[in-house]
């Protein structure tokens, strides 16, 4: 994406050791791998190279919840029995080495994996990890004889890790649902006989036979007369979509009715769904500034608190009358437990991960969590008209040709020339005129950006476009274009004005609601279009859009966006992501409408709305705002609670039990808050 330089090359993407472990145990490692090593450009997973030196063989994603909690359950009951014997059923044999071994047995199931992770982190050069803090604090507790507290700290820490893993698994489910949309096998017709083959072996031109309830594995063209499809997995839209013969159908769609036949038009690895899967797999590699800050903060903060803990332990020796090493070591250990940044390093990425998942479920794809942050602060939405707020399906309303020209002959030439263009106007003219006369030969065909088309037809110059094209070639005309409310296609032949065609486009049914919701979010709406000003202002007036400008060339759109940005206001541009590339590049966030229709759109946009509904624009902004709100709630909660308990711990007023709450308790509260976004209705 070429939008802004700050969208790319973001530093410090390396996850913290605990974050890496949590994601791996949740089975989400391949989806959020920052190296991108698990997704290729074709959307297929690549074999991991283990360049990071981390052993991936211990992936626990296939463990049941009970298996994940089992070490903690064993530890809990051994610890509980020890506390009961210590305090309620006093036994003479339960002392010295017997007592130490008993609590060591309680410690090993939950402590050994953490000690191992601490060792591996140190070997990789990451000394001050969360595992290191927990290891020092709990081993230190054993060293001063506080065995139950040492076990309890590690037990609750491990339970917290399991809850974090489960939370990430839940956040992953929305994204994984999308990644699982494509079946592994397809039924093709070979000599009119059905044959089941692996989906990636299907070739372009093969005919797929799709039964009712089956998912399509590859993009293709419907060759049955009609079929109804469930597109919810791709667009978030539950309403069935009926396709007619010759229309495109996409991988991931589910056939709802009778058997349908689809001709494969795209290779398995090049399908729209493959491109979307790659986009989603790589989404969390682009980190939000808040997330990057927390990671950097944790890497600086952890060594500092270890240093402070050392000072708390030894510095009082020089200032207090009765220095007792054991008491001050205990305070230092409490301080270490409290200072562990678990709540921040897991709950914040989880908040963004959940935001991306919630958006995916609603048919909105964010290319990175950084765009969730940016879109939350958007003050202006600048939108194209055609295909964004209107349906983009034009119909000819009026044909006005001067009597000195042969109307039928002229329309045939216009139809032949417009066939060289992919603009919706060309489709409208073709639908009106009919089949292209192949006997007509056009020479020197040229498209003039922002104006129209020019060619030589039957040895004479033919111009078809807007009235700026007429002005450019000094064609005199006797009408006032501003008095015609519809889009006007002017025609000139042999240096003379020959007449015009008017074309109209319908406004989308949710367009007005979109503008109202944008206003409720305090976002201003501006419409920029190359269409004539009267049409643009008419549409804007009906929708309640704040500002509207028509008759714009691509460079004019750029200037309008620059004008907004000169006021130090943020801008999201909504369009097709291809024709408006300069504006997309200038905007803070590029949003593509109808992303399933264009490969290039998926490549260029920061946010892809998978159906043509403009109402998803304010929804995307709202998801960004809610994600940011949850992230900052977690940051404030963690800092506030930890700050208070740190002071109490340093002063000897907080025990290990308060430390456990300040660490694991706050982490769990933050995680529960983070997963809320997946339950929200947008």
Q: How far apart are CA 645 and CA 335, in angstroms?
A: 8
- Which of 643, 577, 499, 491 lies closest to 1, judged by CA? 577
The reply to whether 283 falls in a domain is: no
Sorted by sequence, the CB contacts under 8 Å of residue 319 that are 6+ apart come out as none
C-alpha 288/C-alpha 510 separation (Å) is 31
Task: Give dist(CA 626, CA 521) in Å, integer.
Answer: 12
Q: Is 335 helix (H, G, I), strand (E, B) or coil?
A: helix
Q: What is the pLDDT of residue 47?
A: 34
Is residue 411 domain-shared with residue 487, that is, in the same domain?
Answer: yes
Looking at the fold, whether 379 and 438 belong to one and the same domain comes out as no
Q: Is the pLDDT of residue 41 over 70?
A: no
Q: Among 248, 277, 306, where does a domain finish?
A: 277
Distance of CA 212 to the CA centre of its chain: 31
Among 478, 564, 596, smallest CA distance to 181 is for 596
Rounded mean pLDDT, 6-28: 57
Tell me the CATH number at 220. Answer: 2.70.150.10
Report pLDDT digits (tens) over 298-357. 778 778 888 888 999 999 999 888 899 988 988 888 888 787 777 677 778 778 888 888
Residue 660 above 90 pLDDT? Answer: no
Least confident of 35-44, 207-216, 408-417, 573-582: 35-44
Enumerate long-range contacts of 599-604, CB under 8 Å, 24 or more apart. Answer: 599/272, 599/275, 601/576, 601/577, 602/272, 602/275, 602/276, 602/279, 603/275, 604/1, 604/2, 604/577, 604/578
Residue 303: its pLDDT value, please? 85
Kindly report, residue by residue over 83-135, the tens digit of the pLDDT.
899 888 877 788 889 999 999 999 999 999 999 988 988 898 878 777 887 88
In a domain, 24, yes or no: no
β-strands 589-593, 547-549 pairing: unpaired
What is the SS3 assignment for 382?
A: strand
Q: Are residues 526 and 618 in the same domain?
A: yes
Instruction: Grade residue 36 by pLDDT with cuts at 50, 70 and 90.
Output: very low
Residue 424 belongs to a domain: yes
Told to judge if 270 belongs to the known catalytic residues of this protein, a careful annotator would answer no
Structural domain ending residue among the three candidates 626, 643, 674: 626
Q: How far, in Å, are 40, 201, 212 from residue 184 at the CA level? A: 18, 10, 17
- β-pair partners for 463: 454, 492
Are 480 and 517 found together in one domain?
no
Mean pLDDT for 199-226 is 89
Final residue before a domain boundary, out of 626, 647, 664: 626
Res 6: pLDDT? 40
Give, as one character, the DSSP assignment of residue 215.
B
Lowest mean per-residue pLDDT among 31-40, 403-412, 523-532, 590-599: 31-40
φ/ψ of 463, rounded to 5, equals -120, 130
10-14 long-range contacts (CB < 8 A, ≥24 apart) are 10/286, 10/287, 10/292, 10/370, 11/292, 12/287, 12/292, 12/295, 12/296, 13/285, 13/287, 13/292, 14/295
Instruction: Work out the pLDDT band at 184, boundaries 50, 70, 90.
Output: confident
H-assigned helices in 88-129:
96-123
Q: What is the mean pLDDT of residues 167-190?
A: 68
User: pLDDT-based confidence at 682, cuts 50/70/90?
Assistant: confident
Q: What is the dihedral of CA 566, 570, 576, 579, to 10 degrees?
A: 20
Q: Assess contact for 227 and 214: CB atoms under 8 A.
A: no
User: What is the rounded radius of gyration, in angstroms, for the C-alpha atoms of the chain?
Assistant: 32
Q: DSSP assignment, residue 250?
A: -
What confidence tens digit (pLDDT) does each residue in 509-533 have?
Answer: 899 999 999 999 999 999 998 777 8
Taking only the tens place, the pLDDT of each residue in 228-238 is: 887 766 665 55
Note whether residue 468 is domain-resident: yes
365: closest CA among 485, 443, 282?
282
* pLDDT, average across residues 278-287: 60
Distance CA(663)–CA(44), nearest Å, equals 39
DSSP lists the bridge partners of residue 648 as: none
What distance in Å separates the CA atoms of residue 664 and residue 343, rounded to the nearest whole number? 8
**Confidence (pLDDT) at 144:** 85
d(CA 539, CA 426): 21
Residues 548 and 608 grouped into a single domain: yes
The total number of structural domains in the chain stands at 3
Residue 520 burial class via C-beta count within 10 angstroms: exposed 0-12, middle 13-18, buried 19 and up: exposed
pLDDT of the residue at 523: 96
Mean pLDDT of 418-429: 80
Spell 228-258 as b/e; 16+ CB within 10 A means b: bbbbbbbbbbeeebebeeeeebbbbbbbeee
**Which residue is it, tokens 């507790």?**
141
pTM of the model: 0.68
Looking up tokens 């946010």, which residue turns up? 607
Spatial contact of 288 and 10, defined as CB atoms under 8 Å apart: no
Residue 44 — very low, low, confident or very high, per pLDDT cuts 50/70/90? Answer: very low
| C-beta of residue 543 within 8 angstroms of C-beta of residue 549 | no
- Per the CB < 8 A criterion, the answer to whether 623 and 359 are in contact is yes
Would 318 be classed as within a structural domain?
Answer: no
**Rounded Cα gap, residues 516 and 526, in angstroms:** 13
Residues 552/528, Cβ–Cβ less than 8 Å: yes
Write the CATH number for 432. 3.40.1110.10
Q: Are residues 550 and 418 in the same domain?
A: no
**Residue (of 646, 643, 644, 641) closest to 312 by Cα position:** 646
Residue 610 domain flag: yes
Residue 601 included in any domain: yes
Contacts 24+ apart (CB under 8 A), 325-332: 326/144, 327/652, 329/140, 329/143, 329/144, 330/141, 330/144, 330/146, 331/649, 331/650, 331/652, 332/140
pLDDT at 287: 63
Give me the helices (H) in 419-466, please: 424-433
Sign of CA dihedral 359, 362, 365, 371: negative
528 plus 476 within the same structural domain: no
Asked, for residue 118, whether it belongs to a domain, the answer is no
CATH of the domain at 370: 3.40.50.1000
pLDDT digits (tens, 9 = 90+) for 358-414: 888 888 888 888 899 999 999 999 998 877 888 877 889 899 999 999 999 999 999
CB 448 within 8 A of CB 410: no
- In this model, does residue 66 exceed pLDDT 90? no
The band of 45, judged by pLDDT with boundaries at 50, 70 and 90, is: very low
Residues 520 and 610 in one domain: yes
Same domain, 479 and 450: yes
Q: What mean pLDDT, rounded, does the chain reach?
A: 81
At residue 286, the pLDDT reads 63
d(CA 81, CA 73): 12
For 113, what's the count of Cα atoms within 13 Å in the CB-facing half-sphere? 19
pLDDT at 54 over 60: no
Whole-number Å distance between alpha carbons of 418 and 436: 10
Nearest to 13 by CA among 290, 295, 282, 281: 295
Q: Say if residue 382 is in the same domain as residue 399.
A: no
> Are both 477 and 555 inside the same structural domain?
no
pLDDT band at 277 (very low <50, low <70, confident <90, very high): low
CA distance 381 to 559: 15
pLDDT exceeds 60 at position 180: no
Best mean pLDDT range from 160-169, 181-190, 252-261, 312-321? 312-321
pLDDT score of 81 more than 90: yes
- Of the chain, the end-to-end C-alpha distance in Å amounts to 27
Query: Which one from 33, 206, 219, 384 is the annotated catalytic residue?
Result: 384
What is the distance between the alpha carbons of residues 361 and 175, in angstroms, rounded to a whole number? 8
Beta strand extents in 24-156 (DSSP E only): none
Residue numbers of the domain that contains 553: 366-390+508-626
- Quick one: 483 and 433 in the same domain? yes
pLDDT of 289 over the 80 cut: no
- What angle (nearest 5°) sits at the alpha carbon of residue 70, between those of residues 161 and 345? 5
């Amino acid at each position: 994406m070429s939008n802004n330089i700050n969208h790319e090359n973001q530093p410090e993407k390396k996850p913290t050791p605990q974050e890496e472990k949590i994601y791996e145990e949740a089975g989400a490692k391949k989806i959020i791998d920052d190296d991108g090593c698990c997704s290729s450009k074709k959307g297929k997973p690549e074999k991991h190279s283990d360049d990071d030196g981390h052993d991936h063989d211990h992936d626990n994603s296939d463990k049941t919840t009970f298996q994940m909690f089992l070490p903690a359950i064993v530890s809990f009951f051994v610890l509980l029995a020890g506390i009961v014997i210590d305090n309620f059923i006093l036994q003479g044999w339960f002392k010295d080495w017997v007592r130490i071994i008993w609590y060591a047995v309680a410690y090993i199931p939950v402590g050994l994996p953490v000690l191992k992770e601490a060792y591996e982190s140190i070997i990789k050069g990451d000394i001050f990890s969360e595992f290191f803090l927990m290891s020092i604090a709990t081993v230190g507790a054993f060293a001063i004889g506080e065995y139950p507290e040492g076990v309890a700290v590690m037990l609750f820490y491990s339970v917290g890790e399991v809850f974090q893993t489960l939370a990430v698994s839940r956040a992953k489910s929305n994204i994984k649902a999308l990644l699982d949309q494509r079946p592994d096998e397809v039924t093709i017709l070979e000599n009119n006989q059905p044959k089941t083959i692996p989906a990636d072996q299907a070739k372009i031109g093969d005919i797929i036979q799709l039964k009712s309830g089956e998912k399509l594995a590859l993009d293709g063209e419907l060759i049955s007369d009609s079929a109804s499809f469930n597109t919810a997995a791709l667009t978030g839209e539950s309403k069935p979509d009926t396709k007619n013969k010759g229309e495109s159908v996409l991988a991931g769609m589910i056939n709802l009715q009778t058997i349908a036949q689809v001709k494969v038009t795209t290779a398995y690895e090049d399908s729209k769904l493959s491109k979307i899967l790659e986009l989603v797999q790589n989404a969390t590699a682009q980190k939000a500034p808040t997330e990057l800050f927390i990671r950097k903060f944790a890497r600086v903060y952890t060594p500092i608190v270890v240093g402070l803990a050392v000072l708390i332990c030894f510095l009082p020796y020089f200032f207090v009358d009765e220095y007792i090493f054991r008491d001050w070591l205990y305070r230092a250990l409490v301080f270490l437990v409290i200072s562990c940044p678990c709540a921040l390093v897991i709950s914040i990425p989880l908040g963004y991960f959940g935001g991306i998942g919630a958006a995916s479920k609603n048919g909105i794809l964010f290319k990175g969590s950084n765009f969730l942050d940016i879109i939350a602060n958007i003050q202006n939405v600048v939108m194209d008209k055609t295909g964004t707020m209107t349906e983009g399906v034009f119909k000819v309303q009026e044909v006005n040709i001067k009597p000195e020209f042969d109307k039928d002959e002229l329309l045939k030439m216009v139809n032949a020339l417009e066939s060289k263009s992919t603009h919706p106007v060309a489709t409208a003219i073709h639908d009106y005129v009919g089949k292209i006369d192949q006997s007509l030969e056009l020479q020197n065909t040229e498209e003039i950006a922002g104006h129209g088309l020019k060619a030589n037809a039957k040895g004479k110059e033919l111009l078809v476009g807007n009235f700026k094209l007429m002005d450019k070639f000094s064609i005199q005309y006797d009408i006032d274009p501003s008095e015609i409310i519809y889009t006007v296609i002017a025609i000139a032949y042999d240096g003379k004005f020959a007449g015009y065609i008017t074309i109209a486009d319908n406004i989308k049914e949710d367009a007005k609601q979109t503008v109202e919701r944008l206003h409720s979010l305090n976002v201003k709406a501006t419409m920029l279009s190359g269409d004539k000003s009267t049409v643009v202002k008419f549409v804007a007036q009906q929708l309640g859009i704040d500002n509207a400008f028509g008759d714009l060339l691509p460079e004019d759109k750029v200037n309008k966006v620059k004008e907004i940005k000169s006021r130090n206001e943020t801008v999201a541009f909504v369009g097709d992501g291809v024709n408006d590339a300069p504006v997309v590049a200038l905007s803070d966030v590029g949003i593509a409408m109808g992303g399933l229709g264009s490969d290039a759109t998926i490549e260029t946009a920061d946010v892809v709305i998978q159906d043509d509904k403009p109402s998803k624009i304010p929804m995307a902004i709202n998801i960004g705002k809610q994600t940011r709100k949850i992230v900052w709630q977690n940051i404030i909660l963690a800092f506030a609670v930890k700050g208070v308990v740190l002071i109490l711990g340093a002063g000897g007023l907080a025990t290990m039990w308060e430390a456990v709450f300040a660490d694991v308790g706050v982490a769990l509260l933050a995680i529960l808050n983070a997963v809320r976004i997946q339950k929200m209705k947008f």
